[in-house]
């Protein structure tokens, strides 16, 4: 192979690698400060870490408020996801006020058109301590 062909192949492989890394980063979620989440992030997946400042359940759904020192965010774990968490050894009783938590979710607006943002758990690891 000549030098030009090698450079072209190298550039194409590099670009394909960057595209793959971008796709993987979107699916994994990025740890962010709550204050950095805004209306433009609806539909994006992030991880947040903070303390549970409120907790309630209704119909086996869990409704949390998580604060990270920059802001607070409502976080919902629907009962269908709770069944998955229970198989991982996480129960409703693990979500206690003042416990530290790192959790991933997708940004949503509820109710629609209100400007009120929340995150919805959709799978992945949860670290509660």
pLDDT of residue 120: 96
- pLDDT digit string, tens, across residues 110-129: 989 899 999 999 888 788 88
pLDDT in tens, 62-100: 999 999 999 999 999 999 998 888 888 998 899 999 999
Residue 46 and residue 22 share a domain: no
Name the residue range of residue 112's domain: 32-128
**How many domains is the chain built from?**
2
Confidence of residue 18 (pLDDT cuts 50, 70, 90): low
In this structure, are 108 and 66 located in the same domain?
Answer: yes
What are the b/e assignments for 39-76, b being 16+ CB within 10 Å? eebeeebbbbbbebeebeeeeeebebbbebeeebbbbb
């Amino acid at each position: 192979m000549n030098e030009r062909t090698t450079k072209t192949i190298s550039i194409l492989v590099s670009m394909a690698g960057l595209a793959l890394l971008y796709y993987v980063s979107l699916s994994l979620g990025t740890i962010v400060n709550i204050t950095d989440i805004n209306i433009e992030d609806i539909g994006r997946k992030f991880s947040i870490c903070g303390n549970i400042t409120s907790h309630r359940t209704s119909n086996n759904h869990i409704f949390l408020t998580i604060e990270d020192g920059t802001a607070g965010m409502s976080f919902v774990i629907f009962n269908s996801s709770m069944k998955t968490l229970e198989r991982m050894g996480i129960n409703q009783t693990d979500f206690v006020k003042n416990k530290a938590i790192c959790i991933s979710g997708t940004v949503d607006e509820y109710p629609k058109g209100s400007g009120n943002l929340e995150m919805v758990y959709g799978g992945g690891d949860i670290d509660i301590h």
